Homo-oligomer: A and B are copies of this chain.
Amino acid sequence: MFFDNINLNMIEILRLGHRINRDTRISSHVALVARALNADKLYYTGQKDSSMEKSVMDVVDRFGGSFNIEYIKNYKDILKNKKIIHLTVYGMPLKDKITEIKSYKDILIIVGGEKVPGEIYNLADVNLSVGNQPHSEVAALGIFLYELSNSKFSEFKDANLRIIPMEKAKKIEKKT
């Protein structure tokens, strides 16, 4: 795996209570930032949203990797044998918990929706806050994964499209 100096093996995300249309863009952003920062999979509950799934899988098809997305009815089905990190504005500061979290092997990061069931706070191994200010689940997940990944982004060796960083232009390379 990409994590040279930590035990981490698998990072999954669980997005709770997705609503079609209202949450489609935010949940897509959650999925794409997870993919860009070394996560393996997004599960989501709420309403099944084929359009959101397609927009994410289109990026995977073009830009590579094996990131996956799966709708599930009941989040309790996927909690076993993983450490559970619940991202919430009310949780403990990132800097206080990051070392402990880096010692975990397989983790599931729960990203709340509008109404997070109270039991999530109890079943989580860590309730984690990125800043203890109201802002964005997308940014909170991004910053947390960035810390967890030691500032290293995903690399996708099988990519059909590859963006070549440029000072003043757009450059994208297509696999031939």
A152 to B57, CA, bound (A): 34
The answer to whether A143 has its CB under 8 Å from any CB of chain B is yes
Q: Which of B35, B88, B132, B136 contacts A142 (CB 8 A)?
A: B136
Known: A29-B136, A131-B154, A133-B154. 11 other contacts (CB 8 A): A25-B25, A32-B133, A35-B133, A59-B134, A63-B134, A90-B165, A91-B165, A96-B165, A121-B169, A138-B138, A146-B146
List which A121-140 residues lie within 8 A (CB) of chain B.
Answer: 121-122, 124, 127, 129, 131-136, 138-140
Pick from B29, B121, B122: contact of A135, CB below 8 A: B29
Q: Is A3 part of the binding interface, using a Cβ–Cβ cutoff of 8 Å? A: no
Question: Does A163 have its Cβ within 8 Å of any Cβ on chain B?
Answer: yes
Give the nearest-CB partner of A170 in chain B. Answer: B90
Please determine whether A163 and B129 come into contact, CB atoms closer than 8 angstroms: yes
Give this chain's copy count: 2
Q: Give the nearest-CB partner of A23 in chain B.
A: B25
Which residues of the other chain, B, contact A25 by a CB distance below 8 angstroms?
Answer: 25-26
Is A54 part of the contact surface with B, judged by Cβ < 8 Å? no
